[in-house]
Structure 1
Amino acid sequence: MNCDSTTCRIALTYVVPAIGACTSFGMGVAPLFTVRKIHNAKNLGKFNPLPFVLTAANATTWMLYALMVHDYFIYIPQFFTILLGTYYTLRTISYASEEMKSRMIMAWVALAGFIHIGGLLSFVVIPDHVNNGAAVGKTVLGVFSTIVLLSLYASPLSTLYRVVVERNAASIALPLAFTSLVNGALWFVYGLAIMDHFVWVPNGAGAILAVVQLVLRFIFKARPVSDIDSISTSSTAVGSEGRLTPPLEDDQKKPEDMV
């Protein structure tokens, strides 16, 4: 992104990512109240905790990417999000069904292995054995990070489908969807400013997803449901840790939920 004036450069390369880091941290903290409520109730209800595993994994890949490109604006919020995502996962997994526990553990192990391979290739193998290894390693790690992020983006799709089918947007949290739009837009602009497509492309997609949620929220009337059943957060790529959480499918519900 061309920016000739000093003020413009400072705004795009310092102010925008600083605000983005703050909104990212805020979105990471957003599920805390719900997680504590689940812990106190000792019941997940219809809440799906699997995206919390993806949250921690996504933050890990982007923290590694931040180390690769020496960008502390990306690194700082991801560090805290790893802690938060791990905390949310450990707090909720004990209340999940056996099938969901198995899914969460399998996802955790698979993602940990995937991230380990990506980090090993990018930081050790490629720089030592490939010409222009640093640039190639950055590309490989960026691709790995994007793949994990796309897995995170997939989580809202079933919920958005249900919103349309049931014509009920109660599962879309309006403040979080709006924050997702702002957060995604900030990181999108920052990615353009530093000319890093691994930053601006996924955040642009996250901002578009947030717009879709906002449109659906205003089109369909929200019928009230319980706090835990309706909780959702939105995904916005690099700086974001929340996501629209799909409710459990019928075969994952506890007997009391199906009455």
Structure 2
Amino acid sequence: MSCKALSHLVGDTSERAMVGHGNFVFNSRDMAMHRESWAFVFGLLGNIISFGVFLAPLPTFYQIFKKKSTEGYQSLPYVVALFSAMLWIYYAFVKREAALLLITINTFGIVVESIYLTIFLVYAPRKPRLTTIKLLLLLNVFGFGAMLLSTLYLSKGAKRLAIIGWICLVFNISVFAAPLFIIRRVIKTRSVEYMPFTLSMFLTINAVMWFFYGLLLRDYYVALPNTLGFLFGIIQMVMYLMYRNATPVALDEPVKAQEANGHIVGAVKMGTIEPNHAGGGLGGVGKV
């Protein structure tokens, strides 16, 4: 083979290799954009459902406002929900990339939970009011403040994001364990009074939305807690179908406020529980 032919062959091979590499880079970018588009869709749906879940306690607070009394309702779930939203807002601002949907839903959550707590503080008796103030100072002021200062001054960059992400993940896993209380009560009472099927279904769907949002963005701090949310949501719906026509069993002990549950927003969530003295549903977010 002549030098000219050999040179032509090598050049042609190099061009093909470059074209192949270019196609690979293009396909990789195209796949990344496609993945981010789907993540946005799931995150948007998660926002819409989470908006509804955050507003679920409105009837409760309307009754509190109307009767000028908290009637035994507890403030702890709303303090926890506010803390969760604050955590995820901080995580989103540190992350920055693809964090808009986390910021929108958790900003809404902070506003709504703050309104709930304000109403509670206005109409609660002296002892529950003081307890609520202590909880807010302990968790939302000193607890969050200590976490904020330590991560700002003792870590930076990817390490800071990882620390905040792990805090959010562990906190939300602990919140998602709350359905165990209502599942236990359903089994003992053979009654689904405290576990509305519709709320459980929507919270399960919400967990699915945020799981795929986190998975597609490879944000496992968002995705992993919502696997538990989905699992507990399925368990609750199965329990509802098992016990919906069962004959209730009366218990000697009264229903504790902490055991009658309301909602959990996962996500990043975003996680909240709404117990009350009369019952309520229990779901499994998110919030992101």
Is TM (by shorter chain) over 0.5? yes
Match of 1:125 among 143, 147, 154: 154
CA distance in 2, matches of 1:210, 1:116: 33
1:255 corresponds to which residue? none
2:181 corresponds to which residue? 158
1:238 corresponds to which residue? 268
The answer to whether 1:82 aligns with 2:105 is no
1:22-171 equivalences in 2 (<5 Å): 22-70=48-96, 71-96=99-124, 98-112=126-140, 113-127=142-156, 134-171=157-194
Task: Answer whether contact 1:184 1:236 (CA < 8 A) is retained.
Answer: yes
Task: Answer whether contact 2:261 2:275 (CA < 8 A) is retained.
Answer: yes
CA distance in 1, matches of 2:177, 2:134: 17
Deviation track 1:155-194 (CA, whole Å, cap 9, x = no partner) reads: 4433332222111111112222111111111111111111
CA distance in 2, matches of 1:114, 1:209: 28
Deviation at 1:5, TM superposition (A): 4.6
Deviation at 1:51, TM superposition (A): 0.2
Q: Note closer, same or farther for the CA distance 1:192–1:3 as it changes in structure 2 (3 Å cut).
A: farther
Larger radius of gyration between Structure 1 and Structure 2: 2
CA distance in 2, matches of 1:22, 1:41: 31
1:220-235 equivalences in 2 (<5 Å): 220-221=243-244, 232-235=262-265
CA distance in 1, matches of 2:163, 2:47: 24
Q: Note closer, same or farther for the CA distance 1:213–1:169 as it changes in structure 2 (3 Å cut).
A: same
Query: Which 10-residue stretch deviates more, 72-81 or 111-120?
Result: 111-120
Task: Answer whether contact 1:13 1:194 (CA < 8 A) is retained.
Answer: yes
Deviation track 1:120-140 (CA, whole Å, cap 9, x = no partner) reads: 22234312xxxxxx1110111
| Number of residue-to-residue matches in the alignment | 237
Task: Answer whether contact 1:55 1:152 (CA < 8 A) is retained.
Answer: no
Which structure's relative contact order is higher, taking Cα pairs within 8 Å and 6+ residues apart? Answer: 1
Q: Note closer, same or farther for the CA distance 1:198–1:147 as it changes in structure 2 (3 Å cut).
A: same
> Which portions of structure 1, spanning 4 or more consecutive aligned residues, are displaced by more than 6 angstroms?
none
Deviation at 1:43, TM superposition (A): 3.5
2:224 corresponds to which residue? 201
Deviation track 1:70-116 (CA, whole Å, cap 9, x = no partner) reads: 11111110001001111112212444455543442232112122211
* 1:65 partner amino acid: Y
CA distance in 2, matches of 1:91, 1:189: 35
For structure 2, the residue ranges without an aligned partner over 5 or more in a row are 1-27, 249-256, 280-288
User: TM-score, length-normalised on structure 1?
Assistant: 0.79
Deviation at 1:212, TM superposition (A): 2.0
